Structure 1
Amino acid sequence: MREETLDLLCDPETSSPLILQENEDGSQVLAGSNTTYPIRDGVADFLHQKPVTGINKRYQMMYDHLSPFYNFVTRAAIRLMQADEDDVRREYLCELEIKPGDRVLEVSVGTGTNLRLLPRDARYYGLDISPGQLRQCKKLLKKIGLEAELFLGAAESLPFYDNSFDVVFHMGGINFFGDPDLALREMYRVAKPGTKIVVVDETDRFTKKLAKIPIVQNFFKSDSDVNVPDPLVPQKAEDIQVKELFDGRLWYLSFRKAQTKVKPATVSTALLKRRALQRV
């Protein structure tokens, strides 16, 4: 784990700094003042102390089960709708304002298929609720030669300090989160002032078509319609945009974190606290 990544991370429950420690057996953990989070195969597990429940647990299990076949299923479903997967993804990825050296966070990174289409001169971070999806993501990143820091965690409880990322985005699934409102507020919180936050998902009429396809129908079972969550956008957000993409197959929501005066860099303060913990 890179030093700069440690500077971004905090305990999602207490917002306190974390330090990297090595156990006697050689395994590593991220340690806070009262708890630790294990690191397995390079992925920090922020669900270890607080496992997911409810609908989040249901989808975690489903994605874990399907992760080895997920990319195939996605491509097959899009092809059945007479579309090209990369064309669909570029419809929303082109909206991201990625500059060289930016810190880019994808919430629900899945198998990493979005990352392979993005510029190589930025720094990428991905979080997902599914260990299986993250394993597939690591394989893809290795295959394409792209570095990214991955984390096992929930969108409703991001393990990052305020004002940490230059770009924040999420594609697919927010309507099925346990708490979409909190997830949007968390994306807003970790974005730097002025950052454009992009959220995309399939439209309700498109998901109803997909739900008729046996191989993908389990992804879209829900008692409610799939709607744009623009009423849940944080009140201070600016430049809110809602539109449809790719002939109505996708809805697109973006908003910008308000440009306000920020206190001295949170990350620098966190670094000092973390170094103090290391000396204890």
Structure 2
Amino acid sequence: MKPENVQFLCSPHTGERLELKVEQGAGGRPVELLVGQKTGAKFPVREGIPLFLDKSQMPGNNRKQQKFYNLVAPFYDFLHRMQTARQGGEHLMRMEYIKELGIGDKDKVLEVSIGTGANLLYLPRTAQCFGIDISWEMLRRCKRSMQRKGIDVELAMAAAEKLPFVDNVFDVVFNVLGLRLFNDKGGAIREMLRVAKPGARITIVDQAKAGAPLHLLPREIVGPEYKEIYYGHLYCLSFKKAEKK
């Protein structure tokens, strides 16, 4: 990972700031770690991706989804293209919600549940992109795919309910087709709001039949805006983090 991006990270458990260090691993090989400044807690960095969770921190449906997406990662993009082909195609679907994000020049953008990173292909190249996912195999494919395409993204293995970022970092935060699968949907929304800057836009897209989580939205927001997109198959729920008074 890029050393200059460590300033945006924190322990998802304690909130403490982290330092990037290099230690000697097996066979004398250098190993990157993120180390808590207060507790000394260590988070490994594998293939440039920090790992902020393990099996013990993956209860309930999150653990089930992690296993599933690790399994289907090699075929996920193909399966998704096949699934969307009957309703106008993947490009149409993504364009409908990408235009709702309102990404500006040089914005810091976080995608929660980034998967293989297909949405990154539709974002402005001037944006500074970050992404988290609970699936190591999806993150691995995302990193390799984006490297081949020349797209820069900072990734982390983490849960949506405990984002490894300090407060007030991102200009845009979004999640596509993930919220309905989370253990704690309200907690994930609060975390997305926490890491967003005051005035930042948060957008959630999911299956319309799952229902928009309007009842879970915190009070400290401006909005929300709700619409159905992609022939009524998806909802798009957007709101802004209230400015500080």
* TM-score calculated relative to the size of structure 2: 0.95
SS of the aligned residue for 1:56 comes to helix
Do the aligned partners of residues 24 and 3 (structure 1) sit closer, same or farther apart at CA in structure 2, a change above 3 Å counting? closer
The structure 2 residue matched to 1:31, chosen from 31, 35, 45, is: 35
Distance 2:55 2:62 in 1: 16
Q: What are the residue-to-residue correspondences of 1:33-72 with 2, within 5 Å?
A: 33-34=38-39, 35-48=41-54, 50-72=56-78
Q: What are the residue-to-residue correspondences of 1:132-171 with 2, within 5 Å?
A: 132-171=137-176
Of stretches 191-200 and 229-238 in structure 1, the one that deviates more from structure 2 is 229-238
Of stretches 140-149 and 41-50 in structure 1, the one that deviates more from structure 2 is 41-50
Note the alpha carbon deviations across 1:140-163, whole angstroms, 9 max, x for none.
101211010000000000011110
Note the alpha carbon deviations across 1:209-266, whole angstroms, 9 max, x for none.
xxxxxxxxxxxxxxxxx111111111111120111001101111011000114xxxxx
Equivalent pair of 1:37/1:48 in contact (CA under 8 Å): no
SS of the aligned residue for 2:11 comes to coil
Distance 1:22 1:2 in 2: 13
Distance 2:102 2:180 in 1: 24
Equivalent pairs, count: 239
Give 2:91's aligned residue. 86
- Write out the 4+ residue segments of structure 1 that deviate beyond 2 Å after TM superposition: 1-4, 48-51
Q: Which runs of 5+ in 1 are unaligned?
A: 205-225, 262-280
Shift of 1:82: 3.2
SS of the aligned residue for 2:141 comes to helix
Q: What are the residue-to-residue correspondences of 1:185-196 with 2, within 5 Å?
A: 185-196=190-201
SS of the aligned residue for 2:57 comes to coil
Give the residue type in structure 2 aligned to 1:237: I
Distance 1:142 1:245 in 2: 31
Equivalent pair of 1:47/1:154 in contact (CA under 8 Å): yes
Give 2:22's aligned residue. 22
Q: Which runs of 5+ in 2 are unaligned?
A: none
Superposition RMSD in Å: 1.2
Q: What are the residue-to-residue correspondences of 1:1-280 with 2, within 5 Å?
A: 1-25=1-25, 26-32=30-36, 33-34=38-39, 35-48=41-54, 50-79=56-85, 81-204=86-209, 226-261=210-245
Shift of 1:2: 2.4
Distance 1:231 1:138 in 2: 35
| Greater fraction strand | 2
Which protein is bigger by CA-based radius of gyration?
1
Give the residue type in structure 2 aligned to 1:60: Q
Shift of 1:50: 4.9
Do the aligned partners of residues 68 and 155 (structure 1) sit closer, same or farther apart at CA in structure 2, a change above 3 Å counting? same
Distance 1:95 1:3 in 2: 31
Percent identity for Structure 1 against Structure 2? 42
